[in-house]
Structure 1
């Protein structure tokens, strides 16, 4: 899944919650109490909340595997291989590359979430409220873990590691699915 989409979903959930708190019913109109199983804005939550009826199984399976970081990581691995033998990139070993991009993943998610939050505030989606951006800690940690495991499946990082790559590929999908279920259990907002 895209980090932008995951970060934006976290920010939209915050903005949506603030909008519901700030909106008061008109005089003489009883407030509608949404049932717990029905999201208040289905168009917003339909493809972002884990466990909704419209969520695709593959999306849930790969929810925390960050597409942007994967794209940058593969480009970096290719560039490193092309520059092999250059002394100025000798420090860029496979573990260093994995560590850099594992740390970059939550930062990109945070940036995407905050950008969406600020954009929503400018558009007045949380007007009149004192809502502030809440760092999506769970999503940031989950995407970093999913990326770190997935990165071990990339060919060319480690010599003679084909068995590890196959195991890592399945482990990344399993861990992402597990994280999706943990998110549902703990009720991360």
Structure 2
């Protein structure tokens, strides 16, 4: 060994001793003493820093989802658009119906995403229609429309009078609003 190497070793030994006396190892990257973990304190007492309000995750209110935006979306959905029929003629229909026609056309041409979405929409519509039909059946079979069985009076009592415009099924909780037709007036 040479003398120069011994001197450098002695200096390092001195640095290690000084660093260990201060409680830090110079060979490892350690944070300053003021930023180290404190014994007895767990977690992050300040909490997560506040971020952007709306992240777009499920259940989160998106920016711009206020009443004017919703009104604009519905206005565009019911706007009349001109659609070209397969026979060459053109008709004006609401935009949401034109979009459903395009979805149906894509599903029929074999697009698997369109087929899945179209099937989901149709099944949901059929389910709602079935619920309304069951509600009507329950109300009409019970004998009294808008009536409920009352144990105290031992019979059916009316919920309210609504001239049979609103029918409520007490079994499933589904309500049906019947619209007036011109057929009843003419009879």
Shorter-chain TM-score range: under 0.3
TM-score normalised by L of structure 2: 0.19
TM-score normalised by L of structure 1: 0.19
Q: Which structure shows the higher helix fraction?
A: 1
Tell me which structure has the larger Cα radius of gyration.
2
Q: Which structure shows the higher strand fraction?
A: 2
Which structure exhibits the higher relative contact order, with contacts defined as CA atoms closer than 8 Å and separated by 6 or more residues?
1
